[in-house]
Amino acid sequence: MNPDLDLLHSYPFQRLTQLVAKITPPLNLSPIKLSMGEPRHLPPAFIARTWLDHKEGLSQYPVTRGSVALRTAITNWLKQRFVLPTECLDPERHCLPVAGTREALFAFAQCIVDRNQNALVLMPNPFYQIYEGAAILAGAQPWFLNTTQATNFLPDFDTVPEEIWARCQLLYVCSPGNPTGAVLDLAAYTRIIELADRYNFVIASDECYSEIYGDENSPPVGLLQACISMGRNDFRRCVAFHSLSKRSNVPGLRSGFVAGDAILLDRFLLYRTYHGCALPPPTQAASAVAWADEAHVIENRVFYRQKFAAMLEILNEVLEVSIPAGGFYLWLKTPFDGETFARDLFAATNVLVLPGSYLSRTAHGTNPGHDRVRIALVAPLEECLEAAKRIRDHLSTK
């Protein structure tokens, strides 16, 4: 067996299951699950119809590179969404369809990291657990960039020692952040691109929450957008990861893409050819029409804004809560440690949230998730409102 498997931590939801396993919540209160970031808004019907219209493709082996139609839809969306020059993205060279960002973020590290070079993989802390697992199984050591209220929940890249950058082979960033919702601006992206040039590492920008944000006139910027602003039309050392799961409410479709540096993607295509995660032809067809439509994405953002506003009106009676710049999570500061808060809340109210410490590690003398919980606003508005009332009433008794 691969000995590195023993270095993996338990997945957050396994830990949560163990935390509440022996608790019987009030049977007179319906369960409300806000622990997992699984979108529950209805996906647009045309995605399923397109999948069914192309079901004959199930009799064919899919092409790892993806269909021309899908790659064209992806590059067209990227150019429109991030205001990129028409000539800068070639569907043949600059993008690859993937089976959701989770699969691709993990596989990319296995392709990029040279385990013989004492490699480090840098990542925000708290973080999406795939980054850590990918680094470990690629033979690298994770190195954590704490994101706290003091840093506006963003990594402070200027505090990283030079000897750490010198060993860095891959930097994961996430914008909007999971779980904080913090957004990297153009200056931050520019800074890490400059660092990547100086120390010769690759940037993997996880942008799967990029289409959920508060201000319709100020969408989050992206890594490829930053490259173009610097005149880097080759996207050297830079790759961005996107998904339909959150954008279009189709997590079960398992569809996303990676785009950027053509040289890196050529090597990643070689890896993926052996890896064997090509999207089924019906999924490719359904994905192409999803990337081509923005109306359902705009409507999706409206739903989340309504839930944020309604929940904060209730929760601000007992806690200091603010709407994040992006994503659909509340990164809630708790009066005591988040694990105790989550356990007691479930026992008293049948509302399930995720302890922040399950999404972070103790690094540089602190655990940024210790006194926080993550609340996913994925349930219908009525359930979110009911959960907020139960949380408010529970805290009022403390």
CA proximity to 209, closest of 199, 218, 200, 219? 219
Residue 339's pLDDT is 98
- The two tokens of residue 332 are 């809630």
State the pLDDT at residue 220.
Answer: 98
How far apart CA 306 and CA 385 sit, in angstroms, is: 10
Whether the predicted pLDDT of 47 surpasses 90? yes
Query: pLDDT, tens digit, for every residue of 324-361?
Result: 999 999 999 999 999 999 999 999 999 999 999 999 99
| pLDDT mean across residues, the chain | 96
Indicate whether 32 pLDDT > 80.
yes
Q: What is the DSSP string of 278-302?
A: PPPHHHHHHHHHHHT--HHHHHHHH
Instruction: Provide the pLDDT for residue 236.
Output: 98
pLDDT for residue 304: 97
Q: Is the pLDDT of residue 320 over 90?
A: no
pTM, 2 dp = 0.97
Q: Tell me: the pLDDT tens digits for 184-229?
A: 999 999 999 999 999 999 999 999 999 999 999 999 999 999 999 9
Identify the pLDDT of residue 257.
98
- 8 A C-beta contact, residue 374 and residue 330: yes
What φ, ψ does residue 94 adopt, rounded to 5°? -105, 5
354 in Cβ contact with 373 (< 8 Å): yes
Strand partners, 354: 374
- With 90 as the cut, is the pLDDT of residue 276 above it? no
Q: Is the pLDDT of residue 398 over 80?
A: no
Percent of the chain at pLDDT > 70 equals 100
Looking at the predicted structure, is the pLDDT value of residue 136 above 80?
yes
How much is the pLDDT for 221?
A: 98
CA dist list (Å): 194 to 151, 249, 354? 20, 35, 36
Rounded CA gap, 272 and 265, in Å? 10
SS3 string, 171-222, reads EEEECCCCCCCCCCCHHHHHHHHHHHHHHCCEEEEECCCCCCECCCCCCCCC
Compute CA 323 distance to the chain's CA centroid, rounded to the nearest angstrom: 18
For residue 74, the model assigns a pLDDT of 98
Q: Which band of pLDDT confidence, cut at 50, 70 and 90, is reported for residue 397? A: confident
In this prediction, residues 108-122 reach a mean pLDDT of 96
Quote the percentage of the chain above a pLDDT of 90. Answer: 98
Condensed to tens digits (0 to 9), the pLDDT of residues 75-114 reads 999 999 999 998 999 999 999 999 999 999 999 999 999 9
Provide the pLDDT for residue 28. 96
Mean pLDDT of 391-397: 94
Quick check: 122 and 172 in contact, CB under 8 A?
A: yes
* Full set of structural domains in the chain with CATH: 3-42+296-396 (3.90.1150.10), 56-293 (3.40.640.10)
